[in-house]
Amino acid sequence: MTDATPAPSRPLPQADEISKEFFDGGMAGRLMLMKCTACGALRLPSRRHCDVCLADETAWVESSGKGVVRSFGIMHQRYHPGFQTPYNVAFVELEEGVRLPTNIVGVANDAIRVGMPVVVEWDRYEDVALPKFRPA
């Protein structure tokens, strides 16, 4: 239909061996966290071992998807062609205590505040969905 080069995309994460349930959960609209079955600590599935007790037996639990903005910034320098500046970046702390890097959506950049209550909203692509957050 068209021979125009498609706009460059943001890097799209995909599951690795230990994060499959997290990414599968995202496609189903569920924010899944890894839970250490030895000590109960929750974490993002970024590692096989629990960072509290070093056990490697895990279960999966679903987050409420609610949290607060821990900190945020507004990117003005453009480092990658998939991003249009300015855009925000943030760490959100879920009510379960787990933190993740994300973007705040559905609000102007200058209205974002540290401590602002937020709730997950999925940014959906063909084979992956990423957790973003909008004001609760």
Partner 1 sequence: MGHPMRGATAITGLGITPMGRIFGKSANELAADAVREAIADSGLRKDEIDGLLINPGITGTTGGGIGLGLQNYLGLNNLRLLNHMNAAGSTAAQMVQYASLAIAAGMANHVVCVFADNPLTEGKSSGSSYGGASRMPSRPQGVAGLYQHAGFFGPNTSYALACSRHMELYGTTHDQLGAIAVAERAWAVMNPRAQMRDPMTLEMYHASRWIVEPLHLLDCCLVSNGAVAVIVSGADQAKDMKAPPVYVLGMGQGHPGDPLRSGSDWETETGAKIAAKTAFSMAGLGPRDMTQLQLYDCYTYTVLVTLEDYGFCAKGEGGPFVADGKLGPGGSLPTNTGGGELSGYYMWGMTPLSEAVIQGRGQGGERQQKNDAILCTGNGGILNYHGALILGPNRS
The residue ranges that bind partner 1 (CB under 8 A) are 9-16, 18-19, 22, 41-42, 44-46, 51, 70-77, 79-80, 83, 86-87, 89-91, 93, 97-103, 113-115, 123, 130-131
Answer yes or no whether residue 42 interacts with Zn ion by CB under 5 A: no
Structure tokens at 101: 């890097």
Q: Which of 12, 27, 28, 53 binds Zn ion (CB under 5 A)?
A: 53
Q: Within its chain, how far is the Cα of 83 from the centroid?
A: 17
- Where residue 76 falls (left for φ over 0; alpha for ψ -120 to 50; beta otherwise) is alpha
Cα dihedral 75/76/77/79 (nearest 10): 50
Long-range contacts of 82-91 (CB under 8 A, 24+ apart): 82/7, 82/8, 82/9, 82/10, 82/11, 83/10, 88/112, 90/133
Closest separation between CB of residue 34 and Zn ion, Å?
10
Size of the site for Zn ion (CB under 5 A): 8
Closest separation between CB of residue 3 and partner 1, Å?
21
The one of partner 1, Zn ion, none whose footprint includes residue 24, by CB under 5 to 8 A per kind, is none
Answer yes or no whether residue 74 interacts with Zn ion by CB under 5 A: no
Which of residues 66 and 99 has its CB atom nearest to partner 1 in the complex? 99
Q: Which of 28, 52, 74, 114 binds Zn ion (CB under 5 A)?
A: 52
Quote the CA–CA distance of 30 and 128 in Å, as a whole number: 12
Closest separation between CB of residue 35 and Zn ion, Å?
9
